[in-house]
């Protein structure tokens, strides 16, 4: 049954330049500079400063040459991935899960060499400070440097505490870039809202963006002749039988491995529960690399297809480069090499034609060309030769994205219905305890004497239920990538952690679990607090704190049990000093109220067992002036 | 994740399998030479150094697999015969299942050689992943061989993979259910078969057939896959009706099929403009593509009724998805149940302040609070019954991990809540709770704790003495013993032969004293209005004030009881 729908339903609308936020003229410029950089191989990069007619912005384009040396691509291990250096790229991780991004080691080594170049660093710094629009660009393995340089510049000059009004976020434009990193690249750049800074042009059959879907072992023997063929200006472009057999085998091998990994991903997108997917990972090597950012596929006829969903990009990478039948092999394999070098001509044509299709509403993509509510989309999908199977994969990618949004909606509702009132009650509990008992809620909760203490315990458990569900979803990446970067959730999380974690600690010590299970911090701290602490630390770019304003109670209890067992003060002196300094800082900042501490029996017990000479000089002795 | 829109990932899964090298490598081993000969079977263990995996291939010596009979042998018979390789599959829910007799006989005749094969495989170092494969009847043996390995697999790294080509089915529906108990077990089987191959369908001729497929099926001409056994069954029936009537038994060349599928991984194997794709529903489209891959297109099937098959499969797939997704997820509700436990804890505390203890307070049902407790009691019991049932369904290894995770919460639950069940039972006039009424799940939870304590050094039962005030009585049936003691005291008045009853009472006395010595009883039992005190007073009356015993000695001295409560009393 056909449905009538409005025509522009799938359209992001407008010129490609407007849509991606970079003028067509600039794109053409970056493309030509990308290829120009290859000619000046001895330079680590070339740069050009210019203006375009239509606006006042001054552009600085930095373009990096490619390398066709095998060791600049592969480290001779199956996929050659390594954990990225978080000191240089602190955001390339998932925050709560604390999962570090994986990056191609050979590429990363090359980038590190670039970063040692003080002239490069200085030029970027100056341009950003002067409010210029910096654009990093590159073709092939040069593109990789552009990508990593962009992440580095974004982190170095534009993170929240450093940014100034005149600063413009750098952009990255790549042509035929190989894949650089794993799914965390996409996850993290979505979270930081940096995805739109990365624009990748990929020709329909260009083999380079697909290479890293195959393990090194499968292409080892072919790689050096292929790299030679991929080198711009190489002189062996004539057809010969050896060349033909190399390209055919290379294309087939890469594509077959691409088929394996894309179908594995597709099964997961479709929600398959068959554990064969897991069992098979023992027998099949699966590439960890995934695309990220905005992709613009060029079909060779001047049409451009813009896709932002990275799951969909991966599916397209495989499906649009497939053969129609075996007779095409030699022709397509040859194209897969030639197109890698054909970006300048292709862009010249397609940016002029402005035949652009935006694949936005993936979840109800037409499944066959006959289904024509949007002729542009249908035609574009047909021109790419997408089979019904491929379209279903794209739909699944779109559906998953939607599902993540629905999950967040569900959580929001749950949060409003359950967490908000419980938090209100606990706030009230805290202040009543301070006023009535004069002892603070930590102790009251630990003693559990009155009905209100019990009510507080129920609220604590309700909140734990809501937050544990959020954490579970995060662990499985079932919430939108943006979630952990959202200010409101970071604030909710921090407020929750500060108010409720002391109760969890009190509960833990009330049941004396520290005696059989071990210290709270090592053995029992729930993920809901570990994650929310990481959120705040990530947002503030502050290092991981061992003891925080919500967990110092655990430290107080630990120290207390130490001193009450008459163990020597000297052994814990440093910990006591550190705790006292922290407490001073928190009370000064008013994250903690003085009374919470100075009237708490556990804390007083600790204080009283400390040596007199220590107390006299302690930075928090003023808290106890009345008592002493 | 619960997705509201469904897809069938069958084609993708098939592509995942066929584009990898596992099928062609398996087939290469199958079609190679130098097999070792056994009884009616031969096999080859292919473990080249440097290879990614070890491949074990089976061949049946008689080359006519199609003459194999459909006769079954039940697991009970095998057990009687003291053949226990497959016994671990039996469980309370699936106590017995049946296997193909011919395949099992072959397996048994070569049993000793198989054992040494297993030793050889396990001794390889470093350990490479194992593929067990075979064609036709050889495939059935491969299936049995892998089944016999299942009870020893835990981690992903240890999972073997069984790959059969055009293999005969090996068992009935209950075998399928026993294997499907564990998604992990079921994930170890890939069966490749051609839509033209009649052999795999030999035992499924119509809907009344007892045989049932398990594992994942890669069905081709163009490859698609199914995991749902019901769907596969339906397809078998449909294929049987389409092909078998106008077809001689032609042998299918799986080598060629595998080669083709491998090569085709890089082609567009499904038409861009298939007919009939106007359906906006993704699942329906998926299924019609899958049937197309099996040449079960509308033209072919006049008799099967294409639309009926398509609709039926769609229903089956939907149901299969839902079943898998709504699987009981204990962690989801755990926090809710913790709230109930907190409520009970509070109830216990309040009752203690009333000098009665929560056991007796609940038994008496004098206050609204006591009624409220009913619902916590009900919800908790329902949750844990379900939980225990779920854990029991799991195969041993998975189940064990599951049990360890929940054991702590389960034990606290049992000690807190079973007294409520006891109170309810005796207040309604019940007798002999332990033998007549005690719920299975309490017994299971206790048993698991026992098993667990065998394997670990620190004992969950031993708590530091000074915490005795905070503990829950270790034996969750304590109150049942007290109730029995009270009933015995009552009986004593009516009977003439008192010795027997007094003996029983003395036994209970010894039991109680034993618990006290271990600091295993909550001091709440000493509260003035508790059933225990009521019993003690009655018992003392019967025995007379001059009665001496270890327990009497303790009970008669208030200071000792007080000291006990703070963990300071040293029993003589």
pLDDT one-digit tens code per residue, B441-465: 999 899 888 887 777 655 555 556 7
Q: State both tokens at B409.
A: 């919460």
**Separation of alpha carbons A60 and B311, rounded Å:** 61
Which stretch of A69-78, A416-425, B64-73 has the lowest confidence by average pLDDT?
B64-73
* Confidence class for position A268, pLDDT limits 50, 70, 90: very high
Tell me, yes or no, if A511 is annotated catalytic.
no
Most confident of A268-277, A374-383, B193-202: A268-277
* Confidence class for position B490, pLDDT limits 50, 70, 90: confident
Per-residue pLDDT reduced to its tens digit, A140-174: 999 999 999 999 999 887 766 666 667 888 999 99
Chain A's closest residue to B344, CA to CA, is: A454
Query: Does the bond joining A444 to the residue before it have cis omega, within 30 degrees of 0?
Result: no
Answer yes or no: is pLDDT of A203 > 60: yes
By C-alpha distance, which of A204, A181, A187 is closest to A107?
A181
What local confidence, expressed as pLDDT, does residue A2 receive?
Answer: 37
What local confidence, expressed as pLDDT, does residue A4 receive?
Answer: 35
Answer yes or no: is pLDDT of B467 > 70: yes
Answer yes or no: is pLDDT of A535 > 90: yes
Per-residue pLDDT reduced to its tens digit, A80-111: 999 999 988 989 999 999 999 999 999 999 99
B5 and A326 within 8 Å at the Cβ level: the answer is no
User: What average pLDDT does range B42-51 have in this prediction?
Assistant: 81
Residues in chain A within 8 Å Cβ distance of B325? 273
Which stretch of A494-498, A621-625, B495-499, B510-514 has the lowest confidence by average pLDDT?
A621-625
This model of the complex carries an ipTM of 0.88
A16-386 maps to CATH 3.40.50: yes
B16 and A280 within 8 Å at the Cβ level: the answer is yes
What local confidence, expressed as pLDDT, does residue A434 receive?
Answer: 79
Burial of A511 (0-12, 13-18, 19+ CB in 10 A): middle
Q: State both tokens at B302.
A: 């006049």
What local confidence, expressed as pLDDT, does residue B277 receive?
Answer: 54
Answer yes or no: is pLDDT of B344 > 50: yes
* Confidence class for position B481, pLDDT limits 50, 70, 90: very high
* CA dist B38 → A474, B54, B113 (Å): 54, 20, 8
In terms of phi and psi (left: phi > 0; alpha: psi -120 to 50; beta: otherwise), the region of B527 is beta
Share of chain A above pLDDT 90, in %: 54
User: Taking a contact as any Cβ pair under 8 Å apart, which residues of chain B between 248 and 287 contact chain A?
Assistant: 262-263, 265-274, 277-280, 282, 285-286
What local confidence, expressed as pLDDT, does residue B245 receive?
Answer: 54
User: What φ, ψ does residue B21 adopt, rounded to 5°?
Assistant: -90, 0
Q: State both tokens at A527.
A: 């993920």
User: What average pLDDT does range B188-204 have in this prediction?
Assistant: 87
Helical residues (DSSP H) of B20-96, grouped into ranges: 22-30, 75-80
The DSSP element (H or E) to which B561 belongs, if any, is: helix B558-565
Answer yes or no: is pLDDT of B326 > 70: no
What local confidence, expressed as pLDDT, does residue A14 receive?
Answer: 63
Q: How far is B6 from chain A (nearest CA, A)?
A: 7
* Confidence class for position B2, pLDDT limits 50, 70, 90: very low
* CA dist B350 → A546, B363, B533 (Å): 39, 15, 19
pLDDT greater at residue A145 or residue B543: A145
A259 and B266 within 8 Å at the Cβ level: the answer is yes
By C-alpha distance, which of B337, B419, B333 is closest to B375?
B337
**If you ran DSSP here, which 8-state letter would residue A172 be given?**
E
Answer yes or no: is pLDDT of A370 > 80: no
Domain with CATH 3.40.50 in chain A: 16-386
Under 8 Å CB-to-CB from A412, ≥6 apart: which residues? Answer: none
What local confidence, expressed as pLDDT, does residue B151 receive?
Answer: 81
Which stretch of A235-244, A552-561, A582-591, B340-349 has the lowest confidence by average pLDDT?
A235-244
By C-alpha distance, which of A449, A231, A260 is closest to A338?
A231
**If you ran DSSP here, which 8-state letter would residue A7 be given?**
G
Tell me, yes or no, if A453 is annotated catalytic.
no
By C-alpha distance, which of A173, A202, A177, A200 is closest to A321?
A202
User: What average pLDDT does range B352-379 have in this prediction?
Assistant: 90
By C-alpha distance, which of B531, B176, B19 is closest to A254?
B19
Answer yes or no: is pLDDT of B273 > 50: no
Torsion on CA atoms B270, B275, B281, B283, rounded to nearest 10 = -40
Answer yes or no: is pLDDT of B1 > 50: no
**Separation of alpha carbons A136 and A142, rounded Å:** 10
**Separation of alpha carbons A431 and A97, rounded Å:** 34
| Radius of gyration of the CA atoms of chain B, in A | 32
Which stretch of A265-279, B93-107, B281-295 has the lowest confidence by average pLDDT?
B281-295
Share of chain B above pLDDT 90, in %: 35
Q: Which of these is catalytic: A34, A195, A206, A287?
A: A206
**Closest CB from A371, A389, A400 relative to B278:** A371
The DSSP element (H or E) to which B554 belongs, if any, is: helix B550-555
What local confidence, expressed as pLDDT, does residue A237 receive?
Answer: 55
What local confidence, expressed as pLDDT, does residue B211 receive?
Answer: 92
User: What φ, ψ does residue B135 adopt, rounded to 5°?
Assistant: -115, 140
**Separation of alpha carbons B401 and A470, rounded Å:** 24
**Closest CB from B13, B280, B338 relative to A274:** B13
Chain B's closest residue to A254, CA to CA, is: B266
By C-alpha distance, which of A140, A175, A146, A228 is closest to A346?
A175
Residues in chain A within 8 Å Cβ distance of B269? 387, 389
What local confidence, expressed as pLDDT, does residue B329 receive?
Answer: 60
Answer yes or no: is pLDDT of A296 > 80: yes
Answer yes or no: is pLDDT of B545 > 90: no
User: What φ, ψ does residue B296 adopt, rounded to 5°?
Assistant: -95, 60
Answer yes or no: is pLDDT of B285 > 90: no
**Separation of alpha carbons B219 and A95, rounded Å:** 43
Q: How far is B542 from chain A (nearest CA, A)?
A: 40
Q: How far is B510 from chain A (nearest CA, A)?
A: 30
Answer yes or no: is pLDDT of B99 > 90: yes
Mutation for testing the B interface, residue in A213, A276, A382 having most B CBs under 10 Å: A276
User: What average pLDDT does range A483-510 have in this prediction?
Assistant: 94
The overall average pLDDT reported for chain B is 84
What local confidence, expressed as pLDDT, does residue A174 receive?
Answer: 97
B272 and A388 within 8 Å at the Cβ level: the answer is yes
The DSSP element (H or E) to which B249 belongs, if any, is: none
* CA dist A66 → A112, A145, B244 (Å): 15, 9, 61
By C-alpha distance, which of A210, A204, A246 is closest to A226?
A246
Residues in chain B within 8 Å Cβ distance of A267? 9, 12-13, 16
* Confidence class for position B50, pLDDT limits 50, 70, 90: low
What local confidence, expressed as pLDDT, does residue B4 receive?
Answer: 53
Whether B468 has its CB under 8 Å from any CB of chain A: the answer is no
pLDDT greater at residue B46 or residue A567: B46
Tell me, yes or no, if A140 is annotated catalytic.
yes
Which stretch of A84-98, A573-587, B287-301 has the lowest confidence by average pLDDT?
B287-301
pLDDT greater at residue B459 or residue B229: B229
Under 8 Å CB-to-CB from A136, ≥6 apart: which residues? Answer: A61, A62, A63, A64, A145, A146, A147, A149, A150, A153, A170, A171, A172, A173
* Confidence class for position A11, pLDDT limits 50, 70, 90: very low
Burial of B34 (0-12, 13-18, 19+ CB in 10 A): exposed
User: What average pLDDT does range A31-47 have in this prediction?
Assistant: 89
* CA dist B476 → A379, B433, B512 (Å): 71, 12, 13
**Closest CB from A251, A267, A388 relative to B12:** A267
pLDDT greater at residue A39 or residue A489: A489
Please give the distance of CA B539 from its chain centroid, rounded to a whole number: 47
Q: State both tokens at B170.
A: 């090996």
What local confidence, expressed as pLDDT, does residue A3 receive?
Answer: 38
Answer yes or no: is pLDDT of B139 > 70: yes
What local confidence, expressed as pLDDT, does residue B317 receive?
Answer: 87
**Closest CB from B131, B187, B278 relative to A2:** B278
B464 and A324 within 8 Å at the Cβ level: the answer is no
The overall average pLDDT reported for chain A is 87
User: What average pLDDT does range A308-316 have in this prediction?
Assistant: 96
Answer yes or no: is pLDDT of B411 > 60: yes
* Confidence class for position B3, pLDDT limits 50, 70, 90: very low
Maximum Cα–Cα distance across chain A? 95
Answer yes or no: is pLDDT of A588 > 80: yes
User: Taking a contact as any Cβ pair under 8 Å apart, which residues of chain B between 67 and 106 contact chain A?
Assistant: none
């Amino acid at each position: 049954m056909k449905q009538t729908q409005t025509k522009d339903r799938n359209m992001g609308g407008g010129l490609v330049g407007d849509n991606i936020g970079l003028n067509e003229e600039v794109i053409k410029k970056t493309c030509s500079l990308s290829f120009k950089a290859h000619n000046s191989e001895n330079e680590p990069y070339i740069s050009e400063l210019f203006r375009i007619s239509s606006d006042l912005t001054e552009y600085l384009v930095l373009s990096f040459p490619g390398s066709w040396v095998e060791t600049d691509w592969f480290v001779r291990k199956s996929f050659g991935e390594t954990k990225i250096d978080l000191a240089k790229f602190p955001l390339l991780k998932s925050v709560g899960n604390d999962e570090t991004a994986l990056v191609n080691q050979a590429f990363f080594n090359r980038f590190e060499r670039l970063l040692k170049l003080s002239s490069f660093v200085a030029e970027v710094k100056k341009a950003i400070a002067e409010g210029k629009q910096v654009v990093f660009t590159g073709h092939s393995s040069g593109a990789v440097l552009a990508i990593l340089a962009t992440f580095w510049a974004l982190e170095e000059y534009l993170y929240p505490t450093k940014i100034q009004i005149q600063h413009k976020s750098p952009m990255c434009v790549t042509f035929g870039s190989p894949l650089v990193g794993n799914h965390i690249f996409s996850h993290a750049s979505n979270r930081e809202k940096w995805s739109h800074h990365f624009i990748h042009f990929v020709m329909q059959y260009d083999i380079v963006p697909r290479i890293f879907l195959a393990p090194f072992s499968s292409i080892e023997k072919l790689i050096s002749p292929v790299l030679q063929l991929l080198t711009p200006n190489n002189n062996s472009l004539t057809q010969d039988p050896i060349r033909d057999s190399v390209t055919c085998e290379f294309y087939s091998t890469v594509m077959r491995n691409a088929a394996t990994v894309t179908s594995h991903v597709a099964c997961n997108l479709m929600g398959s529960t068959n554990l064969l997917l897991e069992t098979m990972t023992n027998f099949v090597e699966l590439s960890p690399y995934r695309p990220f950012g905005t992709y613009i596929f060029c079909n060779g006829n001047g049409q451009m297809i813009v896709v932002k969903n990275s799951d969909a990009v991966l599916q397209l990478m495989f499906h649009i480069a497939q053969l129609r039948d075996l007779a095409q092999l030699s022709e397509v394999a040859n194209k897969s090499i030639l197109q890698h070098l054909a970006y300048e001509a292709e862009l010249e044509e397609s940016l002029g034609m402005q035949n652009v299709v935006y694949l936005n509403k993936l979840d109800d993509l037409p499944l066959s060309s006959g289904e024509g509510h949007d002729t542009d989309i249908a035609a574009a999908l047909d021109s790419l030769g997408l089979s019904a199977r491929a379209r279903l994969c794209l739909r699944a990618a779109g559906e998953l994205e939607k599902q993540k949004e629905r999950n967040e909606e569900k959580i929001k509702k749950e949060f409003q219905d359950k967490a908000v009132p419980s938090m209100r009650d606990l706030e009230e509990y805290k202040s009543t305890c301070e006023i009535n008992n004069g002892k603070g809620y930590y102790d009251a909760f630990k003693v559990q004497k009155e009905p209100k203490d019990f009510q507080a315990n129920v609220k604590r458990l309700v909140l734990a239920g809501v937050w544990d569900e959020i954490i579970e979803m995060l662990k499985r990446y079932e919430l939108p990538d943006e979630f952990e970067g959202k200010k409101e959730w970071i604030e909710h999380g921090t407020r929750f952690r500060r108010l409720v974690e002391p109760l969890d600690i009190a509960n833990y010590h009330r049941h004396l679990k520290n005696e059989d299970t071990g210290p709270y911090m090592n053995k029992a701290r729930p993920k809901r607090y570990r994650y929310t602490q990481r959120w705040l630390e990530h947002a503030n770019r502050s290092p991981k704190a061992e003891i925080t304003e919500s967990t110092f109670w655990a430290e107080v209890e630990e120290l207390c049990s130490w001193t009450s067992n008459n163990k020597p003060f000297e052994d814990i002196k440093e910990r006591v000093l550190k705790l006292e300094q922290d407490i001073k800082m928190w009370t000064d900042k008013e994250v903690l109220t003085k009374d919470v501490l100075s009237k708490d029996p556990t804390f007083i017990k600790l204080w009283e067992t400390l040596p007199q000479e220590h107390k006299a000089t302690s930075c928090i002795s003023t808290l106890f002036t009345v008592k002493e | 994740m619960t997705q509201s829109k469904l897809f069938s990932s069958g084609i993708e899964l098939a592509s995942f399998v066929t584009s990898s090298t596992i099928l062609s490598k398996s087939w290469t081993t199958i079609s190679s030479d130098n097999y070792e000969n056994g009884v009616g079977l031969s096999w080859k263990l292919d473990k080249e150094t440097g290879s990614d995996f070890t491949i074990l291939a089976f061949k049946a010596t008689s080359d006519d697999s199609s003459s194999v009979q459909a006769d079954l042998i039940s697991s009970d018979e095998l057990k009687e015969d003291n053949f226990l390789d497959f016994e671990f599959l039996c469980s309370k829910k699936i106590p017995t299942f049946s296997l193909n007799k011919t395949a099992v006989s072959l397996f048994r005749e070569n049993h000793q050689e198989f054992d040494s094969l297993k030793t050889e495989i396990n001794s390889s170092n470093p350990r490479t992943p194992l593929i067990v494969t075979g064609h036709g009847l050889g495939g059935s043996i491969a299936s049995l061989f892998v089944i016999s390995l299942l009870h020893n697999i835990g981690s992903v790294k240890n999972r073997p993979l069984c790959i059969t080509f055009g293999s005969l089915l090996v068992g009935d529906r209950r075998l399928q259910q026993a294997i499907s108990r564990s998604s992990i077990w079921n994930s170890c089987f890939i069966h490749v078969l051609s839509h033209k191959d009649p052999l795999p369908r030999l035992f499924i001729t119509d809907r009344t057939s007892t045989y049932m497929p398990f594992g994942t099926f890669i069905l081709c001409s163009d490859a698609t896959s199914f995991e749902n056994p019901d769907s596969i069954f339906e397809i078998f029936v449909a294929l049987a009706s389409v092909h078998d009537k106008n077809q001689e038994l032609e042998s299918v060349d799986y080598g060629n099929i595998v080669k083709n599928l491998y090569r085709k991984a890089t082609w567009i194997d499904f038409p861009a403009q298939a007919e009939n794709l106007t359906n906006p529903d993704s699942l329906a489209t998926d299924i019609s593509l899958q049937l197309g891959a099996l040449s079960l297109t509308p033209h072919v099937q006049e008799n099967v009724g294409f639309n009926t098959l398509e609709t039926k499969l769609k229903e089956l797939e939907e149901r299969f998805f839902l079943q898998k997704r709504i699987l009981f997820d204990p962690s989801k509700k755990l926090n809710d149940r913790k709230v109930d436990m907190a409520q009970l804890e509070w109830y216990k505390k309040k009752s203690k302040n009333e000098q009665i203890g929560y056991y007796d307070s609940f038994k008496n049902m004098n206050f609204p609070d006591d009624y409220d407790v009913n619902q916590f009691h009900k919800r908790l019991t329902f949750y844990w019954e379900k939980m225990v049932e779920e854990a029991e369904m799991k195969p041993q290894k998975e189940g064990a991990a599951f049990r360890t995770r929940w054991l702590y919460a389960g034990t606290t639950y049992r000690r807190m809540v079973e007294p409520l069940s006891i109170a309810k039972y005796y207040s309604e006039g019940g007798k002999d709770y332990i033998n007549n009424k005690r719920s299975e799940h309490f017994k299971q939870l206790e048993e698991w704790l026992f098993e667990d304590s065998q394997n670990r050094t620190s004992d969950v039962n031993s708590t530091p003495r000074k915490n005795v005030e905070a503990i829950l009585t270790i034996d969750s049936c304590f109150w049942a013993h007290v109730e029995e003691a009270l009933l015995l005291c009552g009986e004593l008045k009516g009977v003439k032969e008192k010795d027997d009853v007094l003996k029983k009472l003395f036994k209970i006395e010894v039991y109680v004293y034993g618990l006290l010595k271990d600091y295993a009883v909550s001091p709440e039992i000493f509260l003035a209005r508790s059933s225990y005190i009521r019993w003690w007073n009655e018992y003392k009356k019967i025995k007379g004030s001059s009665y001496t015993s270890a327990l009497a000695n303790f009970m008669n001295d208030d200071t000792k009881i007080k000291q006990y409560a703070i963990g300071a009393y040293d029993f003589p």
